[in-house]
Amino acid sequence: MSESWPVAEVLSGGASDVPTAMQRRLYEDMILLRSFDERAINLQRQGRIGTFPPSLGQEASEIGSAHALRASDWVVPSYRDHGALMVHGLPLSNVVLFAMGRTPSLSSALRALPTSIPISTHLPHAVGLAIAAQKLGTDDVALAYFGDGGTSEGDFHEALNFAGVFKAPVIFFCQNNGWAISVPRARQTASETLAQKAVAYGIEGRRVDGNDVLAVYQVVSEAVARARRGEGPTLVESLTYRLGPHTTADDPSRYRSAEEYQDWKESRDPIQRMAGYLMAHGLLTAEEDQAMRQAAQERIQAEVEAAEALPPVEPAGMFQHVFAQAPSDLAAQRRRIEEAVPHA
């Protein structure tokens, strides 16, 4: 079965049709995402933000896929997809606010749903957005993100079934990073691949080297083009690896070996691979690379300062945007908090 689902080859000289400017942009955004995640981990350790899920090692999957979209398309993220949201237009300061448990963490002008913490519950919503685009007569698409563990949830199967029946213009982008927290990919399913699950629902399935940003960009761009032409959904399995913890509350050394980590870090790190590709083809110098990294650090510092400069959160704000008409017990709790904290 695996021969029917070829993994894209690592791109090298002349193999890519991606414009040079886009190749550099993809690399620059990967640098920004990794720099942000490293800073966010430090912020969490300092108690300045809450639990945080870094994208370390998955930068090519997130950045390459998100750049295949246009502004009118929908991004439907899981909890680890702040890089995709960033590409789609979300300021990094909003990501910091989300990690602080504050509003506004999502811009109303952005075509993206809020980050989904439950596993795969957002996938049917992505199908709904895609069907809405069909009914409105637009060629907009929806791109939904989830991990390999998400394919074990009922919502995944329901979403693919509806999408296949209605030929919804939706791309299901599975970042197969090998681990659903501590559960290895081999314990998720007996299927040889995750992409082949598309067959049961009559939709297209693709596998791609998720640590090759150019391959990800090309494969997702092709899936987006198919969806815009009315040819239906695609399930993309992006083979990548989570170099960091599942979240800052996780210790990956308890369930995976140091040898496994080192193998991926030393031979398949997506940023090292893209840097080597660009430099080998005269598209990036060491000086330009260093300037990109410095610019990323400066931008992140400004975004963190912007988030931390906001006034303190009012405790009663936790009751907002939950119910159109609050139940009596919650209304009573809010009154007690407002009485105890006059400025709330």
User: By 3-state DSSP, what share of the chain in percent is helix, strand and coil, each rounded to 5?
Assistant: 50, 10, 40
Q: Which of 85, 93, 54 is nearest to 67 (CA)?
A: 85
Find out whether 40 and 49 touch, Cβ atoms under 8 Å. Answer: yes
141 token code pair:
């698409």
| Digit-coded pLDDT (tens) for 85-130 | 999 999 889 889 888 888 767 777 899 999 999 999 999 999 999 9
How many Cα atoms are found within 13 Å in the side-chain-facing hemisphere of 93?
14
Active-site hit among 34, 88, 207, 246: 246
Find out whether 145 and 69 touch, Cβ atoms under 8 Å. Answer: no
Residue 45: C-alpha distances to residues 37, 249, 251 (Å): 12, 10, 14
| Digit-coded pLDDT (tens) for 57-86 | 999 999 999 999 999 999 999 999 999 999
Asked if 242 is an active-site residue, the reply is yes
pTM of the model: 0.91
Find out whether 275 and 214 touch, Cβ atoms under 8 Å. Answer: no
Confidence of residue 2 (pLDDT cuts 50, 70, 90): very low
Active-site hit among 88, 111, 206, 242: 242
Active-site hit among 70, 255, 335, 336: 255
Q: Cα–Cα distance between 207 and 209 in angstroms, integer?
A: 7
202 token code pair:
């009559």
In the block, residue with structure tokens 């090298």: 12
The amino acid at 269: D
High-pLDDT (> 70) share of the chain, %? 94
Tell how far CA 102 is from the center of its chain: 20
Asked if 246 is an active-site residue, the reply is yes
| Digit-coded pLDDT (tens) for 191-215 | 999 999 999 999 999 999 999 999 9
Cα torsion through 163, 169, 175, 181, rounded to 10: -40
Rounded to a whole number of angstroms, the CA Rg of the chain reads: 21
Domains recognised in the chain with CATH numbers: 2-313 (3.40.50.970), 314-344 (no CATH)
| Digit-coded pLDDT (tens) for 5-58 | 444 443 434 446 899 999 999 999 999 999 999 999 999 999 999 999 999 999
Asked if 241 is an active-site residue, the reply is no
